[in-house]
Structure 1
Amino acid sequence: MKRLFQLLARWPLPLLHSLGAGLGWLAYALSPTYRRRFLANAAQAGYGFAQVRRAVAEAGKMVAEVPPLWFGALPDVQWEGAESIAALRAQGRGIVFLTPHLGCFEVTAQAYARRFGPITVLYRPARKPWLRDLVATARGRPNLATAPTTLSGVRQMLRALKAGEAVGLLPDQVPPQGLGVWAPFFGRDAYTMTLPARLVQQTGAALLLAWGERLPAGRGFRVHVQRFDDELPRDPQQAAARVNAAMEGLVRAGAQQYLWGYARYKQPRQEALA
């Protein structure tokens, strides 16, 4: 599988995105479960299928662009709002980036690492050994470290922030049981991680919202960055609701590239938290 990914990494991004768009529609047509979840999640946010139909193809593009992002040269990346990053780095403050399942979330951390310096990203280890090994070797980029969704991973992120570095996480990812609270997301309770507030409150780091827009015709990506100006409440449930509201705003800004098929409202699973 690694050799296949390395081979695909040499293909031009426009071609991969074209193939990925077809793959997205194929998955939508062949999987009733995925189709129902896609439509239900979009409806929960107030969208009809016609309003977000492009997101079907965009989900396939997300899969197709993984090989070059993991094993190839980083594609062209434009920035919008990079001055917020520069200002915080000048202050020596750590930065917590919050990025939903929107656009190319893989490229945001890589682009930051290439332009600004060290960043640690939270990830959930794959269940299948072959995929776990693939991911472990694929994300080895300069200035880019990974932290698992465990207590040891949280400690790793705290150390990075205290050193004035950046961390990134997907706050609309369902955390393991015990690491989240139930909070509204588009009007329906979703199990939501409490980690963003904990990281900020324990380190004094700043919060930034970011997402990687996938540009048309394989022309690369544009990373959008904006400040999260509200102070997160001490109450975990209120803080989670505030974070979810911010994620809703990002999703509405790029609804055609949101991963509507993600099982956002599923029950959390038990995992070892050591």
Structure 2
Amino acid sequence: MKKIKRHIKHLLEQRFTKTLLRFLSRRSLTRLQSWGGWLGRLMYRNNTKLARITRKNLSLVYPELGEQQLEERVNKSLQETMKMGMELGRCWIAPLDDIMSDVKNVYGLDELKALHNSGQSVIVLGPHLGNWELFGHFINQHFTFSAMYAPQKNEELDRIIYHGRCRAGMEMVPANLKGVASLLKSLKQGGIVGSLPDQEPDDRSGGVFAPFMGVESFSPKLVTRLISKTGAKVMAGFAERLPDGQGFNIHFIAADEAIYSPDEVQAVTAMNRTVERLVAIAPEQYQWEYKRFKTRPEGEARFY
């Protein structure tokens, strides 16, 4: 009986996921962002777990904020993250022409094009900032692009995400050693690959501690390893959400030069500084709801 109940629950979750995302994909950007803002304010008023994580993160990276300023940022961050959640169905399912019509201004693309046209391989850092799904779609409008992907437990959601990303031309590779080999092959052929610079590695061998926003953070060193093996250049970017459903601005910047240092800690610190420069453009749109500082150096107390 328990096995049957689990199976029924699984089927209902699959059906609900597909129905919800398809419903959201048909709504206007203005409507989606309005719903996201409302949901974020509701989460703030109820002091949810995500609200508490956000408050802790913001208090760590902006210690100079007064209580009222901190609470305002917590509220805004929750709203922006929920807007991102509402936009997912649109990014994965809505026609690509509709999604690309949301892009209003683009900054720094010429530098990326110049690198690529010269035959230089490029790693693009895409932090959890703004709308990262739209950012990936935008890159695929101009280049062949590869990125790692970790399958979702929800099978229906996994199919939607995979198809939603690949339909724009992105090559999805597994988040394992086989995937790393695929990225290396692409870079050695002068390709462009994407990398998440702000997610904690699953094991200690995959990262080092380096400061991010003034806090020691366990940060991935995959990018530094890819650079050392291929000589790739690094850029970073994101899709900045404009107010009131007006669309998005795309930003590209060159990475901090120290990212090419043979010293892993110096290189990862430079990677984090690069992300900080992007966050400074739209700090409320960073995903402060993620436990970015979960892993602590030996002897330090946990933050969460």
TM-score by length of 2: 0.82
Match of 1:246 among 274, 277, 281: 274
Q: Pick from 144, 164, 177 the counterpart of residue 170 of structure 2.
A: 144
Pairing 1:103-142 to 2, within 5 Å after superposition: 103-114=130-141, 116-142=142-168
Q: CA RMSD in A?
A: 1.9
State which structure, 1 or 2, has the greater radius of gyration over its C-alpha atoms: 2
Deviation at 1:2, TM superposition (A): 2.0
Partner Cα separation in structure 2 for residue 86 and residue 143 of structure 1: 17
Q: Check if 1:235 corresponds to 2:229.
A: no
Q: For 2:49 and 2:24, how far apart are their aligned partners in 1? A: 29
Indicate the larger mover: 7-16 or 25-34. Answer: 25-34
**CA offsets, 1:161-211, max 9 Å, x none?**
122221112201112102111222222222110011111221121100101
- Report the equivalent of 2:83: 61
Distance in 1 between residues matched to 2:35 and 2:48, nearest whole Å: 21
Deviation at 1:126, TM superposition (A): 2.5
2 CA distance for matches of 1:11 and 1:176?
36
2:224 corresponding residue in structure 1 = 197
Runs of 5+ unmatched residues, structure 1: 269-274
Quote the residue 1:35 is aligned against.
51
| One-letter amino acid of the counterpart of residue 181, structure 1 | V
**2:215 alignment partner AA:** R
| Partner residue in 2 for 1:271 | none
User: For residues 220 and 256 of structure 2, what CA distance do their matches in structure 1 show?
Assistant: 19
Q: Is residue 149–residue 175 contact of structure 1 (8 Å, CA) maintained in 2?
A: no
How much does 1:138 deviate?
2.8
Aligned partners of 1:110 and 1:141 also within 8 Å? no
Q: Distance in 2 between matches of 1:18 and 1:186?
A: 30
Please identify runs of 4+ aligned residues in structure 1 that moved more than 4 A. Answer: none
Structure 2 counterpart of 1:207: 234
Matched residue, 1:5: 21
Residue 171 of structure 1 corresponds to which residue in structure 2?
197
Q: Give the whole-Å Cα distance in 1 for the aligned partners of 2:121 and 2:31.
A: 38
With a CA cutoff of 8 Å and minimum separation of 6, indicate the structure with the bigger relative contact order: 1
> Unmatched 5+ residue regions in structure 2?
1-16, 297-304
Distance 1:182 1:148 in 2: 25
- Map Cα deviations across residues 101-155 of structure 1 (whole Å, 9 max, x no partner): 11111111110101x1211123333244443333233322232122232111111
Displacement after TM superposition at 1:256 (Å): 1.8
Question: Is the 8 Å Cα contact of residues 107 and 252 (structure 2) preserved in structure 1?
Answer: yes
| Number of matched pairs | 267
Partner of 2:183: 157
Q: Alpha carbons of 1:27 and 1:159: their partners in 2 closer, same or farther (altered >3 Å)? A: farther
Does residue 224 of structure 1 match 2:251? yes
Indicate whether 1:182 and 2:209 are aligned.
yes
Distance 1:158 1:140 in 2: 20
